[in-house]
Structure 1
């Protein structure tokens, strides 16, 4: 079998397995929600706000006693979330994921979301599908590049299955994983998406995520209002990202996971008491807004007797918009398992509805479509929060059948994306990775440098000398025995104090009258630059060579001399990595 056909078969398999994982995830979650809604705790006694604490506690117990060891001990704790951990694994672990990640999210995510955690199911579906594809590729001994493609296929398959949106699924995989969109990568992504969508159709039928019918076509006179919506979603995206990291920073102060669980669970419960739609994913909230049933969307809350005033309704929707990201991040920080994209969509729908209601009630004499603004607000926030404008457009269009609104979608998404990208270079998926120098991007040069490892270009076969070593000793014990024309000068603590080039002693090294009267200290000088093993990324290393013009630079590790990097070896390694990356 040819390699190409082998990859196609693997793509079908990954799509099928990921589709089954996504369907399983949905069914378990909705079963838990159904049982709680029909039980006395939820529907009759209105005590739903205590459920997130119970759900988070069950996740805590399950993870502690069923997974006593960390799922991925080599992944830094602060990026142990679905997409960031996958991006890190692809770069630093060759895409090798623990087999436990296949079923861990299938249990913990339903417990989180089913009991009211304000997160989505897409992230866990991507994690489970990616772990399936990673372990399948490990069994079949495929190479790193193919494994990366298969994990991207699993991501596309998860999106396609959850949302029944195969085009958006492909675009998301390309935007998130920075794949080169060629026929070689496009076809496997397409095959996996089709396989996954068919699996979803087989088990769940042909219903769209939202039953949305465009009744109000785009009116060119509304263009300015859609630009306002883009401005609003852009600002909200910046707020979303800042709050996300601020809440995580707050929870990092707590020493134990149980303390985080207790504080987070109580905080979510309080928010649910005042804003009931924050319960769970929130998809029913968005469906109610599409139908114009905003009172049902807001649910029973302490402000029910004031909801006949539209401005009270607007304030409640603004409250939902503000607190959705807080509830979502608190769920994550307290130990819950879930995804970001669905909460982002729900928050965007509320924001779009709010802006439409304000425009319709401030006395402008012009009415805009609240349903259309609700829909397009979702796209604007997705584009701003995850910096994936094409994904936002195709995802919203596909899951709602709203292709008629392509132009206003593009207007709002473009403005939201430009605003957010201007003020925030990285997203909640990529900021921590970028700060560590562990982020792959569409910049090919940057990606190749990121994938390179410093250890692969360090050379240690240099003979070192001491500052007090005489010229005679240098000639007999270093120069005559070395194949190099460079000698590091180190003290007794192995700290680098200088370097000596062969050219520095070439004119006098045969003058025996100087053998005992001069020492290495006489000829040594400082290197033009020093490479810090712990801190310098390959991008920094390359820039140091570029700025200094040096052919060799010393490497310092833990304060001591470690070796040298030569420009020739660095460029050779870069070329090899570039060939592997682009082949």
Structure 2
């Protein structure tokens, strides 16, 4: 069908056309929310309430190989953020409101309220307390109920559990966990590599044409890559491999003994490429659906291979289901979310044990190779990642530029002791930055440095500042993170450190006492 080639190109072009009319950068949604929580006090612009979800609809609707879940979560977070701003609530409650809106979005999409709550805790690094649990529960339930009222029994994933957990299958589940971990690493690193290559293409038009062309060819050759892929996922979950094979241009080779398995293997490798190209070329979407698609394909391939080679007899549909949890745990670094989401959306509660085994193994191995998830690796690289470490979180919320004190008297290296004493007599501080004619910091002076000379008038015109000054124990750059500044205070034992820009031009001083005072106020606001 030639439309498989044309539609993805049209979708990306429409998406980019919409982006040109929007003032801010448009992305998947979740990373923007995480950045806002970490760096912008949980504030997202009003545009974020609609930009990613609108562009994602065109991307996915025309065949882009991504999902709609990430943009929906980002949209929910933006709605919560702007509602919090309108209500003038503090940072902690604003983050809670963002989490509630995101949980409601996930619950409504998958009809999985418990998984939605766990998602916000794992992805947003939300500290779960009794006061936050109730709003999260209410928002998740509201999202799920609203979805049922509007959509009825229509579900994204259809699955009927035929075979529960059998203890003799335990080794196979552990082995599947290893394979899903490796597939998760491949998925994430493929995206990182493809995105890096597309960033080298400086001409935006060339980037779009190349990306859209590659995507069109991939989907034309492998139609199951079209869109989110839930149709293929459902076919594999229900053992209907023939439905997947019939979509391929190579379906005439179905008589070949292992053709079907090779096709599924090809889906696993090409889905990561198609998703990466879609996003890197300018399309907007998430990785929820692609990770479920890849996990189901891998689980089915693994079990069918075991059965065909007579290494055992294991339920293919069950392993396809559990494989979905393994990929989600490895790609998103959210093992608990994976366990509860797959259990809730499929009703496979009898599979909690294998779901936990595969998710845990996948998460541990993938985290060894990739310390950060698909959502967080870029933020972590830039130092913008929020964690569950409360001290670090509060430090990240402090703004060094707002704490710098500038009421210090500046002296020049060639200034005589006589003039220096006159400056000291009029200064409210006992530290004096020594700055040259270019405005660059060359040293500091303290009262202790000149106390022994202050009353010897014979030295007033004999000594100059350059002979009395000393080097500061450490220098702080105005762009440094507050946790780095705190480390410098700890290492030096100093109470005041000079602050400079990248050209070492003097800006002011930061004091440990003021930093602790601001930190304490922010901590109270964060935990209140």
Could you state the TM-score of these two structures normalised by the residue count of structure 1? 0.88
Is 1:200 the equivalent of 2:147?
Answer: yes
Is 1:382 the equivalent of 2:328?
Answer: yes
Is 1:426 the equivalent of 2:382?
Answer: no
Is this contact kept in 1: 2:90–2:525, CA < 8 A?
Answer: no
What residue number does 1:53 align with?
9
Larger mean CA deviation between 448-457 and 279-288 belongs to: 448-457
What residue number does 1:543 align with?
487
Is this contact kept in 2: 1:277–1:298, CA < 8 A?
Answer: no
What residue number does 1:221 align with?
168
Choose which of 275, 279, 301 in structure 2 pairs with 1:328. 275
Choose which of 461, 464, 470 in structure 1 pairs with 2:407. 461
Secondary structure at the aligned position of 2:442 is classed as strand
Distance between the aligned counterparts of 2:115 and 2:154, measured in 1?
A: 17
Give the CA deviation at 1:423: 2.0
Q: How many residues align?
A: 527
Distance between the aligned counterparts of 1:258 and 1:133, measured in 2?
A: 35
Distance between the aligned counterparts of 2:86 and 2:526, measured in 1?
A: 23
Secondary structure at the aligned position of 1:545 is classed as helix
Distance between the aligned counterparts of 1:342 and 1:426, measured in 2?
A: 20
Distance between the aligned counterparts of 2:96 and 2:182, measured in 1?
A: 34
Is this contact kept in 1: 2:332–2:373, CA < 8 A?
Answer: yes
Choose which of 368, 375, 382 in structure 2 pairs with 1:436. 382
1:341-379 C-alpha deviation (Å, 9 max, x unpaired):
111111111111111112112232x11111111001110
Give the CA deviation at 1:437: 2.0
1:243-263 C-alpha deviation (Å, 9 max, x unpaired):
111111111112233322211
What residue number does 1:482 align with?
427
Distance between the aligned counterparts of 2:359 and 2:67, measured in 1?
A: 22
Distance between the aligned counterparts of 1:111 and 1:299, measured in 2?
A: 27
Secondary structure at the aligned position of 1:214 is classed as coil
Choose which of 334, 337, 346 in structure 2 pairs with 1:400. 346
Map residues 158-169 of structure 1 onto 2, 5 A cutoff: 158-169=105-116
Distance between the aligned counterparts of 2:48 and 2:441, measured in 1?
A: 45
1:422-447 C-alpha deviation (Å, 9 max, x unpaired):
22211121122122222111111221
Secondary structure at the aligned position of 1:250 is classed as helix
Map residues 8-87 of structure 1 onto 2, 5 A cutoff: 45-64=1-20, 66-67=21-22, 69-70=23-24, 80-87=27-34
What residue number does 2:55 align with?
108
Structure 2: which 5+ residue stretches go unaligned?
none
Choose which of 426, 445, 449 in structure 2 pairs with 1:500. 445
Give the CA deviation at 1:129: 2.1
Is this contact kept in 1: 2:39–2:396, CA < 8 A?
Answer: no
Distance between the aligned counterparts of 1:258 and 1:158, measured in 2?
A: 34
Give the CA deviation at 1:104: 2.7
Could you state the TM-score of these two structures normalised by the residue count of structure 2? 0.97
Secondary structure at the aligned position of 2:379 is classed as helix
Distance between the aligned counterparts of 1:129 and 1:469, measured in 2?
A: 60
Secondary structure at the aligned position of 1:554 is classed as strand
What residue number does 1:555 align with?
499
Distance between the aligned counterparts of 1:316 and 1:126, measured in 2?
A: 32
Map residues 49-448 of structure 1 onto 2, 5 A cutoff: 49-64=5-20, 66-67=21-22, 69-70=23-24, 80-364=27-311, 366-448=312-394
Give the CA deviation at 1:457: 2.1
Structure 1: which 5+ residue stretches go unaligned?
1-44, 73-79
Secondary structure at the aligned position of 2:433 is classed as strand
Distance change (3 Å), C-alpha of 1:106 and 1:180? closer
Distance between the aligned counterparts of 2:143 and 2:33, measured in 1?
A: 20
Give the CA deviation at 1:71: 5.2
1:511-559 C-alpha deviation (Å, 9 max, x unpaired):
111000001111111111111123x211111111111111111111132
Is this contact kept in 2: 1:49–1:272, CA < 8 A?
Answer: yes
RMSD: 1.5
Give the CA deviation at 1:186: 0.8
Is this contact kept in 2: 1:551–1:568, CA < 8 A?
Answer: yes
Distance between the aligned counterparts of 1:379 and 1:504, measured in 2?
A: 65
Distance between the aligned counterparts of 1:531 and 1:191, measured in 2?
A: 46
Is this contact kept in 2: 1:71–1:100, CA < 8 A?
Answer: no
Larger mean CA deviation between 122-131 and 396-405 belongs to: 122-131
What residue number does 1:523 align with?
468
Is this contact kept in 2: 1:437–1:450, CA < 8 A?
Answer: no
Larger mean CA deviation between 498-507 and 302-311 belongs to: 302-311
Give the CA deviation at 1:310: 4.3
Is 1:571 the equivalent of 2:527?
Answer: no
Is this contact kept in 1: 2:29–2:52, CA < 8 A?
Answer: no
Distance between the aligned counterparts of 1:188 and 1:126, measured in 2?
A: 17
Distance between the aligned counterparts of 1:179 and 1:356, measured in 2?
A: 37
Distance change (3 Å), C-alpha of 1:529 and 1:299? farther
